[in-house]
Structure 1
Amino acid sequence: MIFLIEKIKNNKDMIDIKRRIINVDTLCIDEISMLSLKLLLQIEKVLRTVRESNIPFGGIQIIVSGDFFQLKPVPNDVYHDRGELIISYEKIHSLIPHHYVLSQVHKQKVT
């Protein structure tokens, strides 16, 4: 991951990506349950480092949605990612402090 951060910060070919990371206000992640804890923490560190901020996710507003009881994270042996669940991380509430749980199921009617 250090390689990726250094590449984004210092490589001329990555100037546009760095600019986008610095200028973004909000990041939306759908089906958050499919992201592994390792991948989420990597995203968090890249954003914080590139934006030169100590605030989680570099101060970017994070909006996530998904059902942790539906789809599990996708493991990736190439990157030594076991597919650990995000909700198993005890500090998740400090990274994403506001949580809203939708308890009523609303489905569209098929016509």
Structure 2
Amino acid sequence: MTLPANSPRPAKHRLVAAVLASAAAVMALTGCAGFEYREDICSSGEYPVLSVGGTGSACVPDGQEPPVGFVRYPQGKVPQQVGDTWDVYWDTHTLDKDGHVVDAPDAG
């Protein structure tokens, strides 16, 4: 089936193609920077805790105390998202049994 030359359909198809091409160009030029995904350390309703003397961590339900061998992160030094400043920091630091920040023994 051939559409008449004055049919609105070909113009609509050209418009859709132009919009898609423009969107692809914008994404290619920006590297999709506006769509960066960051994973949260814990789920909603949980908070992160650090293992004493090591770099291990866990998530604890809000309102519950940390399990034995874990403590809350120091105020203002709590990692929120994977790869954020404090998440990276706690890869090489930990808390000792007295609550002092020390270099992690397994930090390399």
Check whether TM > 0.5: no
TM-score by length of 1: 0.20
Q: Structure 1 or 2: larger helix share?
A: 1
TM-score of the aligned structures, taking structure 2 as reference length: 0.20
Greater Cα radius of gyration, structure 1 or 2: 2
Greater strand share, 1 or 2?
A: 2
